[in-house]
Structure 1
Amino acid sequence: MRRIAVDPRGDWRERADAIGFVYHGTAVGDAIEPYWDESAAYAFTLAEIEEDLEPAAEQMHAMCLELVDEVVRDQQLMERLAIPREQWNYVAETWRTRQPSLYGRFDFAYDGTGPAKLYEYNADTPTSVFECATFQWMWLEDLLASGAMPAGTDQFNSLFDKLRERFRALFPSGGFVHFAADATAIEDRQTVRFFEDLASQVGIEPKFVEMKDIGLAADGRFVDPEGFEVQAAFKLYPWEFMLREPYAPNLSRADVRWIEPAWKSILSNKGILPLLWQRHPGHPNLLPAYFDGDPAATILGPRHVRKPLFSREGANVEIVGGEGCTPAILDQGYGAEGAILQAYAPPPMFDGRYPVIGAWIVGNEAAGIGVREDETVVTRNMARFVPHIIEANDD
């Protein structure tokens, strides 16, 4: 694994805008901070993909499913993960009936010299999927066509095709599916548009609805503003919120087929990290982790990482111990739900940046990677997306 310099395409912004990747930069004051950065790329060998990252993602996925099967049978574990008591049966029932999953993303530390180490599992509402599945692949095709990359250069990226085929498997007869998100959040709306397009390619009729505009009919069914019943819905809205909304008591009665299903509320919780470590101590792809307050956590030493159970995009993540090591915490109000402590294992540094590998799972299969890098060891919401390649002529 190495970071290489690449000449950006002269028209990449126009090409991004043309396909709807309009959030490739973020306004910060009077400046635009780039989110997509093609002045560099991460180069991997085929062995690093096939022997390290791909099997790590699939093994972590299998271990996570085993954990769900245990948690839904154990009220103490449900409570430990801060799942509302009144929703325990609903969450468990979605697992018992095997409500299907579409996708998820494991975030790994990896430098090519040792096993990938799991930081967390974005199991419920992972983003960066659009740019990973489409724009970084277009980037590679353009560079191959221009000769800027040698023939045979590849990418670990079957995400587009696997997502499309997964939609076909989830809805083999097509049909009508709602797609829900916050329309004022540009990245969320464009991400959902991407999923709508994928679904339409396999005979599904998509209809967008703002999450906040989904209402309740007199008989307890969920309906959109036009009165159409919500029977199946892809939602880019986290379960830790949904399970606490005023409409939460209706979730078990309304019989909506949510994508992702409610059992993903277990896996999108950082509490799975100590639970996985407890069940698989010493696993090469896991970091030691404990619940906050567990006396056994002293084994982590004075320097470790504290993560709230529900934190996203590095919010309220704190590096404890070690002078000059704690970045400013992005406070978004997480933490009251509880926290876990994880061993301090910073990402590798390349050219002053710290990359984290996002390994995608679609259904039960690894489907590619995306790389985001930051200037700090905690990957935040402004971290940049950098494309990757599998180097040509790799033996």
Structure 2
Amino acid sequence: MRRETGTPRPDWERTIAGQGLVFGTPARYASGKARPYWDESVHYVLPMDEVLSLEADVELLHSMCLEAVDHVVLTERYAEFGLPEWVGPHIAESWRRRDPHVYGRFDLRYDGRGPAKLLEYNADTPTSLLEAAVVQWHWKTTVHPDDDQWNSLHEQLVERWSAVAGQLPANELHFTWSGADPTGEDHLTTSYLQETAAEAGLDTVGLAIEEIGWDPLLTRFVDLEQAPMNTVVKLYPWEWVIDEEFGRHAVESLPQTLWLEPLWKMLLSNKALLGILWENYPGHPNLLPAFNDQPGLLTEYVRKPKLGREGSNVDIVAPGYETATGGVYGSEGYVYQAFDPLPEFDGYRPALGAWIVGDSAAGLGIRETAGLVTDDGAAFVPHRIPES
């Protein structure tokens, strides 16, 4: 694995906007100056043998995570995840029904010299999907047409919708996003997911999650036309849903209205998963030592809030690396993960976002930052696999 520089395509801004990448929160250079969020002046090169190894690691990690869900449900360890007591039985029912799941993204530490290490699993509301599936693919075909890319995301998403269609209450899906998202990233991601479902032959409707209604007479969710909503694809975290006024309705009306990602993924998108995994698979080469609610034997660690997002409220405790980020998370508790800094390439640190669709590895997106924490100042950069 290596980092290379190159000349951006002429008029690249118009090109990526035409491919749908229209939200514009700038990233940051090491100097603190604004950096384009999509930055094709650099890219990463991964040889095929490393990609094949990463694919195997991702699918193994995913299977380990599913086993962790089964373990938590069997032992009823929901309090360790900072979840209210009333939600636990509904998570168990969702898991035992095998409510269908579609996709997720593993964030990995990887330097090409050893096995990938799991940092966290974005299993409920993963973003940077369009960049990984579409925008970097077009960059690759234009700039490096003879090379390959770890990227079957679009095809696998279409196939996944076809595969789960028979498990859904109806052929119509409502795709929702929050109108409170100032960047528009959630709307963009949901619209792309809606496109892949439509390509699979499903009927799709888009609306903001704030526009979903609850009919107390029918005791079910309805859309703006007062039509019953059978399946809702959301990009709104389950932990936020259950704190909303309609949250109990969303949970207790399952599976009359089915939500994707499913309720059981609350356990996978929660960083308490890291402590469970280390407990179940101590010493595993794809894991970093991690403990819930206390650092255990760790003397150098990263303290992460169990429900934290975008690098908020992260503390790094290690000589010479002490870091603390602000935010609003932490009341739910913390996980303590061994500190293993992201590798440095030309002064920047890449975090690999490895995608899973269904139960299969599907692609890679890379975000890099000058700091130790991958936060909302990270830039998305493409990758390629050189022709062998």
**Is 2:107 aligned against 1:110?**
no
Give 3-state SS (helix, strand or coil) of 2:162's partner: helix
Q: How does 1:78-117 map to 2 (within 5 A)?
A: 78-117=78-117
Contact 2:27 2:37 in 1 (8 A): no
Letter in 1 for 2:154: F
Q: Deviations over 1:261-317 (max 9, x none)?
A: 000000000001011001100000000001123xxx34211x210000001111111
Query: Out of 174, 177, 183, which is 1:178 matched to?
Result: 174
Contact 1:100 1:261 in 2 (8 A): yes
Find the counterpart in structure 2 of residue 148 from structure 1: none
Contact 1:164 1:199 in 2 (8 A): yes
Contact 1:354 1:373 in 2 (8 A): yes
Letter in 1 for 2:101: S
Contact 1:23 1:187 in 2 (8 A): yes
Q: How does 1:267-282 map to 2 (within 5 A)?
A: 267-282=268-283
Letter in 1 for 2:272: G
Contact 2:342 2:351 in 1 (8 A): yes
* CA-CA distance at 1:27 after TM superposition: 8.9
Find the counterpart in structure 2 of residue 225 from structure 1: 224
Distance in 2 between the 1:343 and 1:169 partners?
Answer: 38
Q: Deviations over 1:4-43 (max 9, x none)?
A: 1111101211111112211255399xx8541101001100
Structure 2 runs not aligned, ≥5 long = none
Distance in 2 between the 1:95 and 1:243 partners?
Answer: 17
Find the counterpart in structure 2 of residue 200 from structure 1: 198
* CA-CA distance at 1:249 after TM superposition: 2.3
* CA-CA distance at 1:373 after TM superposition: 0.2
**Is 2:8 aligned against 1:8?**
yes
Find the counterpart in structure 2 of residue 154 from structure 1: 148
Contact 1:25 1:32 in 2 (8 A): no
Q: Could you list the runs of 4 or more consecutive aligned residues of structure 1 that deviate by over 6 angstroms after TM superposition?
A: none
Structure 1 runs not aligned, ≥5 long = 146-150
Find the counterpart in structure 2 of residue 143 from structure 1: 143
Distance in 2 between the 1:141 and 1:82 partners?
Answer: 45
Q: How does 1:352-391 map to 2 (within 5 A)?
A: 352-391=347-386
Distance in 2 between the 1:119 and 1:350 partners?
Answer: 19
Equivalences, count:
377
Letter in 1 for 2:278: W
* CA-CA distance at 1:73 after TM superposition: 2.0
Letter in 2 for 1:277: W
Distance in 1 between the 2:74 and 2:121 partners?
Answer: 21
Query: Out of 319, 326, 341, which is 2:322 matched to?
Result: 326
Distance in 2 between the 1:25 and 1:155 partners?
Answer: 26
Letter in 1 for 2:311: G
Q: Deviations over 1:216-250 (max 9, x none)?
A: 10132011222111110110000111122222222
Query: Out of 307, 328, 338, which is 1:343 matched to?
Result: 338
Distance in 2 between the 1:183 and 1:25 partners?
Answer: 16
Letter in 1 for 2:314: V
Identity %: 43
Distance in 2 between the 1:169 and 1:241 partners?
Answer: 29
> TM-score, structure 1 length as denominator?
0.92
Q: Do the aligned partners of residues 328 and 71 (structure 1) sit closer, same or farther apart at CA in structure 2, a change above 3 Å counting?
A: closer
* CA-CA distance at 1:391 after TM superposition: 1.5
Q: How does 1:211-250 map to 2 (within 5 A)?
A: 211-218=209-216, 219-250=218-249
Distance in 1 between the 2:245 and 2:134 partners?
Answer: 37
Q: Do the aligned partners of residues 27 and 35 (structure 1) sit closer, same or farther apart at CA in structure 2, a change above 3 Å counting?
A: closer
Distance in 1 between the 2:296 and 2:379 partners?
Answer: 34
Contact 1:277 1:288 in 2 (8 A): yes
Distance in 2 between the 1:347 and 1:321 partners?
Answer: 14
Letter in 2 for 1:235: K
Q: Deviations over 1:304-332 (max 9, x none)?
A: 10000001111111112424x2334031x
**Is 2:305 aligned against 1:287?**
no
**Is 2:41 aligned against 1:45?**
no
> TM-score, structure 2 length as denominator?
0.94
